[in-house]
Structure 1
Amino acid sequence: MLCKLTELAINVNKFHSFAKPDRSVQIRSKEFSLNLRKMERAIEFLIKWFLLLVFAGWVMYWMVLPTKISRKEWSPELTEFTNTTYFGRLGKNIFVYGVPVFVMAVFGCIYLYLQQKRTSKEVVQKVKRGSKIAAFFNRPVVVNGPMGILTATELVFFVMFVALLIWFTVVFIYVGFERVPARVEKTGYNVWEVKLENAALRIGLVGNFCLAVLFFPVTRASSLLPLIGLTSESSIRYHIWVGHLTMFIFTVHGVLYFLYWASINRFDEVIKWASQGASNVAGEISLLAGILMWVTCYNPIRRKFYEVFFYTHQLYVLFLIFFALHVGTGHFFWNLPGVYLFTLDRYLRFLQSSNNIRVISARVLPSAYEITFAKARGCNYSGMSNLFLNIPSVSRLQWHAFTISSSSRLEPETMSIIVKNEGKWTTKLYNILAAEDPSPSVLQAAVEGPYGPNTNSFLNFDTLLLVSGGSGITPFFGMIRELLHIAATVPKDHRHIPDVHLICAFKNSGDFKMLDLMLPVTGSYNNELSQINLRIDAYITRETELVAIKQQTQTLWFKYSSSDHPITHALGNNHWLWLAAVITASFLAFLLLLGVTTEYYFNEKMLVGGHHVHYSIAASTRHSLVLFLLCISILLVASFAVLYIKKKTASEETNLAMIGQGFSSPGTSPDGSPAKKTDMEIESQPNEFVHNATTMQFGKRPDLKKILLEYDSKKKIGAFVSGPSEMRHEVASICGSGLANNLHFESCSFSW
């Protein structure tokens, strides 16, 4: 209803602009639009507070879980309340662990949709100073810690997780040890042996708690992370550290059980696959798969042998399946929200990547290259977004993440990335593109994304201080192009364009030529550039003077294939609303299937001696069936949604996939002629403007502290950094030192 009202307001404004109505009608139309925006803001505010209350309740239950209160009071009452004939004992865990997170995910999607709609229509006219409290929570407070750079908000969540983990461990073991005397009397084992078994069990439960939060940071299209100012690429480090912690705890859990079985001379438990209760063999298989993932994810292996890391990390499927068979679906449903949302996201990524993407052109420099794709007009993204790219001719299995260098509003039908020529994968692709006789007339590509911030928050500053090192300059090109769009479409009296100070450090002159890729391959932006206060300070650190580069910038155009598609979100233009619908529908479908299965299969009775009795179903069979229902619900609903959206936009995609034919030479027509490469000097007026705004210094690095502290303290400065970790840490420490309260730090680099 709210979306319809918004569309109505827009149509009313368009009609009145053509009809030239009297002033009273114009005033009423403006008042209606203003009231509508106020209502949208109010809804966003209410949703945010509602989500905060749900999150607080969810965390509170986790705090109470290891205590006696939970075991003796809360758990029996919740079990009685949810133990219906349709869900059995699983009902409590679904209701307690799953429902709150699914509610947050669905309402988070609605919140992000409203926020995106509102900010896409609003133009920043003046800088919002914001509150000092909000500025404090966004300020970096930890720079050189083991977790890297942490803002106050991230530190709060980190401390909360660690405190909850310590509480979980201590209370679980303490409460468990109180039951040791009764266990000793029942089994006749020694006290230390019973304590060893109890500690092993409780530590496993602590590991299950860590596993419950492990998958949230790697859900790329997450509606939960943006609510606290995070993106999937910025929070991947939390997945890494929680993964290390989870596997350490599970390894300790397994070792303690091996010691316990050896102490009581029951080592035959190692090969036990019980028909009811925990299956030890399943736990050992799960642990082995987890250890293989754990060992190969460390930097020496991950960076030098990426494919080994990539292939072994796919064992997470095996790990989760056998973990569920080991602990049972009751305990596995502690992890239900994270695993469910990750599985849905992973399947949507699979469906999106099954399309062959239309590659329009490539601009090849001596040490880097830009690739331009066709994009659907409704596929909008903000600055500093990224996508994952696969080129089958280079590697069918490898996916690499790249920051998007274009603007979805300046270039509504294309999307570009810049790739630095370093590493095996990028060098192989560079050799294909830079060949004298280009072999691919059609370059096949698949993508996942785009992902990134929900809004262009960088517009809310007086000055953008963009600090980059090497290929880290890429995300800033997209920000500058967004400013060009504002300069081209918004009147001066109704806009705010921040000043731009770009500080870029390069190793040599060949890397310096990356500035030639700042502007799109087509179009003239002379007038727009003149309206932006752009200053570029370039530092060539390993040379004392500019070295002439003989190799010219080459542009390669690719021909159109009938199987090509433009880049679009997996769930189309209104992907946040569709994601909310898919989460809701798939979860309800799972509950329906689970209820029917429980009633007509798990609760089935057989006639014995004239009486109906329940027959026993093997635990592994029951757990496997529940996992199957979980997966089939996601697959069916997500597939239906994607197919419906694709059918609805099929004609539009066919037209957009042909974008770029008019840009190229006759050799790139769809008649099968080869792609054509042209040499061109970057001598156009727009690039002359960029070069004239550039000051070059050789043989030294930028003095970042001096540069950062020289700005007017009354101006709001956005300090964006993209580059090596040393550069990010230096800028973060300056912004967090308190020497200048007007500096607002933001890291644009991948932290993994």
Structure 2
Amino acid sequence: MTTARPPAPPAARPRVVARTGLAAVLVGNAAVVLVLFARAGFSANALVLLGRLTGLLGALLMAFQLLLVARLPWLDRRLGMDRLTSWHRWVGFSLLWLLVAHAVFTTSGYAAQSSLPPVDELVSLATTVEGVLRAVVALVLLVGVGVASARAARRRLAYETWHFVHLYTYLAVVLAFAHQVAVGTTFTASPLATAYWWALWGCALGAVLVGRVALPLWRNARHRLRVAAVVPESDDVVSVHVTGRDLDRLPARAGQFFLWRFLTRDRWWQANPFSLSAAPDGRSLRLTAKALGDGSASLRSLRVGTRVFAEGPYGAFTAMHRTRPNALLVAGGAGITPVRALLEELTGHVVLVYRVTRERDAVLLDELRGLAHARGAELHVVTGPSAAEPLGPRALGALVPDARDRDVFVCGPPGMTAAVLRSARELGVPGHQVHAERFGLTG
């Protein structure tokens, strides 16, 4: 039984620090934008001025969007890609409405001055004013991405198709910035305004290049990952062991995941998100997957020595966010892999509740039993049909009477996760003690 003392929780919770920092960045830059807008003067009618203001705020949100999806390690470890992606989605819709308002207000304002119908005025602006046509194309691209990102459309698109469509956002960003440079009144109003916007866009685009290009390339060149072993766990579950150089310097933690590319002829272009199913030990990494799609099913045929390109580690589902000495882990489906890794790393008394339809569906069950015994943890396997949810507050409270005094880590299918989160609230578990990983990789 483990006797290690859990680390003391930080004075300021990492998630709160990161969330506050992002809010401060957005609000502070919005204040700067408003000041620069006012300094540029008001020598235009009200509609044109509204158009300029909504355009400037839209440009700010566009830069903020890039920050949210840059996959910067400091933000990702504290907030998680699922939360950042959710914010990216809602900021994106706000951005789209701002840019539509910018187009409508600006066109209507200039139409009122020229006495042309708004559509004719838009055509005139696009064909005679430098940079306006670029803005029209950018807006059309963003509307297309917004339509593809709507829930009804997103459910019908394969991830690869959706991701390809989403890449047009970067082209829209470049076109929008070119438009701002060419005709932005506030951009050219003073050297200070010009320097500010160049710095803002430079930081936003630089963050994307660092987080999504430079850092993955550098880490893979440094660690040179290869498949070390492929171990069938059952008829439809396989574990892949990956080794490389200097893995003790790879900042991976139990509970995190990577985007894995196995560099074979038929798989090199596919990036699949798989969590670590064992705590990193500085010598190897392990992922475990069930054959649910073409990507996971083909893992069984990987050969030892296959080169691996991994992006990550990603995710905030780690012990970094602990606030209490003891923990409750709840897992279902593929969620058992990061939870199994957490069980290996967490100190203090741990209770693991594993939700499956039938016990024979429980992945890595023998391994979990051995690990729970070695660490003095409690393991409960809860079975039942998928239509039923036996993890209501009464049942969960019976299994773990002191749940409100524990950190609760939940990972699994959306229905199960939602049910456990409701149960935790009804059992009086404070919100800052609840940590959920949602499989919602986008962006």
TM-score (norm 2): 0.77
Determine the structure 2 residue equivalent to 1:103: none
Distance 1:742 1:205 in 2: 36
Q: Secondary structure at the match of 1:215?
A: helix
Which among 127, 152, 175 is matched to residue 271 of structure 1?
127
* Superposition pairs of residues 332-347 of structure 1, within 5 angstroms: 332-347=198-213
Q: Distance in 1 between matches of 2:324 and 2:137?
A: 53
**Is the 8 Å Cα contact of residues 394 and 425 (structure 1) preserved in structure 2?**
no
* Distance change >3 Å, CA 166–CA 708, structure 1 → 2: farther
In the alignment, is the contact (CA less than 8 A) between 2:76 and 2:315 conserved in 1? no
Contact 2:317 2:435 (C-alpha < 8 Å) held by counterparts: no
Aligned to 1:294: 146
Task: Check the 8 A contact 2:372/2:379 in 1, yes or no.
Answer: no
* 1:583-634 deviation per Cα after TM superposition (whole angstroms, max 9, x unaligned): xxxxxxxxxxxxxxxxxxxxxxxxxxxxxxxxxxxxxxxxxxxxxxxxxxxx
Partner of 2:287: 417
Tell me the equivalent position of 1:280: 132
Distance 1:321 1:743 in 2: 39
How far has the Cα of 1:706 moved from its partner?
4.0
User: Structure 2 CA distance, aligned partners of 1:210 and 1:342?
Assistant: 15
Residue of structure 1 equivalent to 2:5? 125
Distance in 1 separating the partners of 2:7 and 2:423: 23
Structure 2 residue 244 is the aligned partner of structure 1 residue 367: no
Match of 1:236 among 69, 85, 94: 85
Mark the CA change 1:459 to 1:172 in structure 2 (over 3 Å): closer, same or farther: closer
Matched, 1:542 2:385: yes
The residue type equivalent to 2:259 in the other structure is F
Contact persistence 1:363–1:370 (CA under 8 A): yes
Query: Do 2:404 and 2:427's aligned partners in 1 also have CA atoms closer than 8 Å?
Result: no
For residues 88 and 302 of structure 2, what CA distance do their matches in structure 1 show? 40
Q: CA deviation at 1:126?
A: 5.0
1:306 aligns with 2:159: yes
Offset of 1:719 from its aligned partner?
A: 0.6
Aligned match of 1:385: 256
SS in 1 for 2:177: helix
Q: Find the residue that maps to 1:200 and give its secondary structure.
A: helix
Cα distance, 1:283 vs structure 2: 1.4
The alpha carbon displacement at 1:536 in A equals 1.7
CA RMSD of aligned residues (A): 4.0
Deviation at 1:162, TM superposition (A): 9.3
On the 8 A contact 1:213/1:335 being kept in 2, the answer is no
- State the Cα deviation string for residues 296-322 of structure 1 (Å, max 9, x = none): 223444443222211122223322222
Q: Deviations over 1:336-372 (max 9, x none)?
A: 3222212222222452587663112222323332211
Amino acid at match of 1:482: E
Superposition deviation, residue 388 in structure 1? 0.7
Q: Residue 328 of structure 2 contacts residue 403 of structure 2 at CA under 8 Å; is this kept in 1?
A: no
Alignment of 1:299-698 (within 5 A): 299-303=151-155, 304-328=157-181, 330=194, 331-349=197-215, 351-352=217-218, 357-364=225-232, 365-375=234-244, 376-378=246-248, 379-391=250-262, 392-409=264-281, 412-427=282-297, 429=298, 433=300, 438=301, 440=303, 443-453=306-316, 456-457=319-320, 461-482=324-345, 497-516=347-366, 518=368, 530-542=373-385
Which aligned pairs between 1:211-222 and structure 2 lie closer than 5 A?
A: 211-222=62-73
Distance 1:354 1:741 in 2: 40
SS at the partner of 2:381? Answer: strand
Shift of 1:474: 1.0
Separation (CA, whole Å) in 2 of partners of 1:706 and 1:466: 15
User: 1:100-140: CA deviations, max 9, x gaps?
Assistant: xxxxxxxxxxxxxxxxxxxxxxx963564777xx6xx79xx
Find the residue that maps to 1:747 and give its secondary structure.
strand
SS at match of 1:384: coil
Greater shift in the superposed pair: 455-464 or 151-160: 151-160
One-letter amino acid of the counterpart of residue 219, structure 1: A
Higher CA-based Rg:
1
Please state how far the C-alpha of 1:414 moved relative to its aligned partner: 1.0
**Alpha-carbon contact 1:390-1:397 (below 8 Å) kept:** yes
Measured in 2, the distance between the counterparts of 1:454 and 1:467 equals 12
Q: Could you say what secondary structure the match of 2:74 adopts? A: coil
- Structure 1: distance between partners of 2:271 and 2:57: 33
* Displacement of 1:444: 4.4
Contact 1:458–1:464 (CA under 8 A) maintained in structure 2: no
CA contact 2:258–2:310 (8 Å) conserved in 1: yes
Distance 1:205 1:374, change over 3 A: same
Relative to structure 1, the CA distance from residue 297 to residue 398 in structure 2 (aligned partners, 3 Å threshold; closer, same or farther) is farther
Distance 1:357 1:343, change over 3 A: same
In structure 2, C-alpha distance between the alignment counterparts of 1:699 and 1:269, rounded to whole Å: 60
* Alpha-carbon separation, structure 2, partners of 1:247 and 1:746: 31
User: Alpha-carbon deviation of 1:326?
Assistant: 0.8
Give yes or no for contact 1:512–1:540 (8 Å, CA) kept in 2.
no
- The residue type paired with residue 334 of structure 1 is L
Question: SS of the residue aligned with 2:79?
Answer: coil
SS of corresponding position for 1:422: coil
Q: 1:317 to 1:418 in 2, by over 3 A?
A: same
1:508: how far off? 4.0
Q: Is the alpha carbon distance of 1:367 and 1:709 closer, same or farther for their aligned partners in structure 2, counting shifts above 3 Å?
A: same
SS in structure 1 at match of 2:139: helix
Give the Å deviation of 1:165: 10
Q: In the TM superposition, what is the alpha-carbon distance from 1:408 to its structure 2 partner? A: 1.9
Between the aligned partners of 2:129 and 2:37, the Cα distance in structure 1 is: 30
Aligned residue-pair number: 412
Change (3 A) 1:129 1:296: closer
Equivalent pair of 1:357/1:373 in contact (CA under 8 Å): yes
CA shift digits 1:279-300 (9 cap, x unpaired): 1122122223322322222344
Q: Percent sequence identity over matched residues? A: 16
| Structure 2 unaligned blocks of 5 or more | 182-186, 188-193
Partner of 2:411: 722
SS in 1 for 2:59: helix
Partner of 2:184: none
In 2: Cα distance, 1:714 partner to 1:700 partner? 18
Conserved 8 A contact 1:463-1:716: yes
Secondary structure of 1:223's aligned partner: helix
User: Which letter maps to 1:426?
Assistant: S
CA distance in 1, matches of 2:51, 2:21: 28
Letter in 1 for 2:236: S
User: How far does the alpha carbon of each residue in 1:209-255 deviate from its partner, in whole angstroms, 9 at most, with x for none?
Assistant: 212321222222333565xx323443221112112211221122223
Residues 356 and 382 in structure 2, CA contact (< 8 A), matched pair in contact too:
yes
Distance in 2 of aligned mates of 1:154 and 1:751:
20
Maintained 8 Å contact 1:197/1:257? yes
TM-score by length of 1: 0.48
CA 1:204–1:373: 2 relative to 1, 3 Å = same
Task: Give 1:177 deviation, angstroms.
Answer: 13
Following the alignment from structure 1 to structure 2, what is the Cα–Cα distance between the partners of residues 377 and 248?
A: 45
CA distance in 2: counterparts of 1:425 and 1:217, whole angstroms: 27
- Asked if 1:202 is matched to 2:53, the reply is yes
- Distance in 1, matches of 2:74 and 2:23, equals 22
Amino acid paired to 1:423: G
The structural deviation recorded for 1:421 is 2.0
CA contact (8 A) 1:709 1:740 kept: no
Residue 428 of structure 2: SS of its match in structure 1?
A: coil
Q: Using the alignment, how far apart are the partners of 1:509 and 1:125 within structure 2?
A: 33
Question: What displacement does 1:531 show?
Answer: 4.1
How far apart are residue 178 of structure 1 and its match? 8.9
